[in-house]
Chain A
Amino acid sequence: MPLLNDEIVEQVKEQLADLEGPVRLVMFTQTFECEYCAETRRLVEEVAQLSDQLTAEIYNFVTDEEKAKELGVDKIPAIAVIGAQDYGVRFYGIPAGYEFTSLIHAIQAVAAGEPDLSEEGIQALAELTGPVHMQVFVTPTCPYCPQAVVLAHHMAIASPMVRADMVEATEFPHLSIKYQVMGVPRTVINDTAHIEGAAPEPMVLDKLQEALEGAPE
């Protein structure tokens, strides 16, 4: 039984019809598949069928440790969406529910390689003084979450200093507890700063600056 119904398949095909370049969906699972690893792998395989520009690469988190390290993947299930470059766009946990939209959008954005941000935003990101890791905690039924995820991913595309993850909160309870996530979306920045809700671009940029300024030397 495929995960995606016919209606969604048609819609996705349409959305991906004009992909501007090839995109690799690099997915990490393991032999004894974790809670949603199997479904995430199947999802990646099904989505990859929907465009000639898409390829699915499935790796084993344990035996392909080197590959995981290379891509900075530290937990599974993980999907790295990679185009001509690796912009640091990641999905941890299954992108189900509304987050499926974020996955399709990430594929389109990575293929284009162009961030959909304001000019000021792109400028501010070009001037970042240190690396930024954004972790956007979501749940699949949260309708505001894709907005926060998509914004973070565009920031990752805009700057080589930024990498951004969707983190599905219920699959990583230890992280949800560590970052005190009980309401989503919650964006954690460099482990030190956080924003609740789907904040507008200027507010998120301010937080990035705040996180960098608060960093120990």
Chain B
Amino acid sequence: MFDFKLTQPQQQAQPGLDEKQEDLVYDLVIVGGGPAGLTAAIYAGRARLETLVLAGSIPGGQPANTDIVENYPGFPEGIDGPELAQRFRSQAERFDTRVVLDDVTEADFSKMPFTLRTYGATYRARTVIVATGANPRRMGVPGEDEFYGRGVSACATCDGFFYGDKKVVVIGGGDSAVAEGIFLTRFASEVVIVHRRNELRATKIYQEQAFANPKIRFIWDTVVEEILGGQTVTGVRVRNIKTGDVSVIETDGVFVYIGMEPKTEVFAGQLELDEWGYIVSNHRQHTNIPGVFVAGDVQDPLYRQIVVAAGTGAIAAMEAEKFLGEYPQSKVEKVVALGGTCD
């Protein structure tokens, strides 16, 4: 409990953006403020592109939600997730990229410059990097929505505290489920990890730690059918998919770590998506629209690692720079009439 952390508090929408945004055309607008977006911002800033990052309301991406990151290179002792996220941001801001805490609600890639609308403003860009990342996937079972925030959570670091000496169930079998399950043993009296297969997908080292932890037990080949409770959660009804047996696990909290869903609603119909909803890109981070690039988990169903997101962010920024160089007619200083196009 008595751990005192000093990270930089996130700044609000920068009061200094006093130019009317509609009259400005950025060289590059990056949508998303996680590792991919912020690495792209570092490279773009150093390439002296006029860059804006629309970081969304909760910047930092998935690392901001993670207790300790031990596999990002450069930190032999590991590093706090939020601290790492903050360092990415500080580095980007050092090279004069602006980071604004705004969520993109609409995008128009049908003509240049591209237009992005947020909760508070409209922005225009010659190139765009989409790095919106992914949201925790929900199980879609009865009781899940009803009890969300009242016993069902996808953030162990946020909500673990409420389960001191209580029982919790973690759903999932990958790195997040196992790592956050281990984290929850700091508070909970018991952590039951329920997985639909009979072996974990998680990195071996996490598996070793989990198997060795006396507070953790596993239930295999099992899926959740319903979340049960009254005022708060009291249990989960589960079904063994091999035997068909149905039973109820008593619990006070359910943490769902069954994977992520790429955040692409805003771009549907314009950017090509694969069958799982991820944005389609080539190995140079191009999308189907020239001038629109993509990086990070929103285009990566396979690896989903901070270092990979950072890598694709850097590539996307370098490609955006190249694109701007190859299409000099797009380097118009200001578009005077709204809706004027650049040919």
A-contacting 9-mer, from B19-27, B37-45, B152-160, B203-211: B152-160
Q: Which residues of B are found within 8 Å of A39, using beta-carbon distances?
A: 2
In this complex, what residue of A is CB-closest to B59?
Answer: A147
**B101–A98 contact, CB under 8 A?**
no
In this complex, what residue of A is CB-closest to B153?
Answer: A183
A-B contact count (CB 8 A): 133
Is B91 positioned at the interface, with any CB of A under 8 Å from its CB?
no
Q: Which residues of A are found within 8 Å of B72, using beta-carbon distances?
A: none
> How far is B159's CA from A185's CA once the two chains are assembled, in angstroms?
9
Is B1 positioned at the interface, with any CB of A under 8 Å from its CB?
yes
**B5–A154 contact, CB under 8 A?**
no
Given A117-B15, A169-B161, do A182 and B232 touch, yes or no (CB 8 Å)? yes
Interface of B is mostly: loop
Instruction: Tell me which of A120, A121, A150 contacts B9 (CB under 8 A).
Output: A150
Is B175 positioned at the interface, with any CB of A under 8 Å from its CB?
no
Instruction: Tell me which of B4, B13, B149 contacts A96 (CB under 8 A).
Output: B4
| Interface range on chain B (Cβ under 8 Å from partner) | 35 or more
Is A101 positioned at the interface, with any CB of B under 8 Å from its CB?
yes
**A144–B58 contact, CB under 8 A?**
yes
Instruction: Tell me which of A15, A105, A116, A146 contacts B15 (CB under 8 A).
Output: A116
Is B302 positioned at the interface, with any CB of A under 8 Å from its CB?
no
* Chain A positions near chain B (C-beta within 8 angstroms): 3-4, 8, 11-12, 15, 36, 39, 43, 94, 96-98, 100-102, 104-105, 116-121, 139-147, 150-151, 154, 169-170, 176, 180, 182-186, 196-203
* 19 CB < 8 A contacts A-B: A11-B6, A101-B7, A116-B11, A118-B12, A119-B15, A121-B12, A140-B3, A141-B160, A143-B64, A170-B164, A182-B149, A182-B150, A183-B153, A183-B158, A184-B158, A186-B149, A196-B149, A197-B57, A202-B119
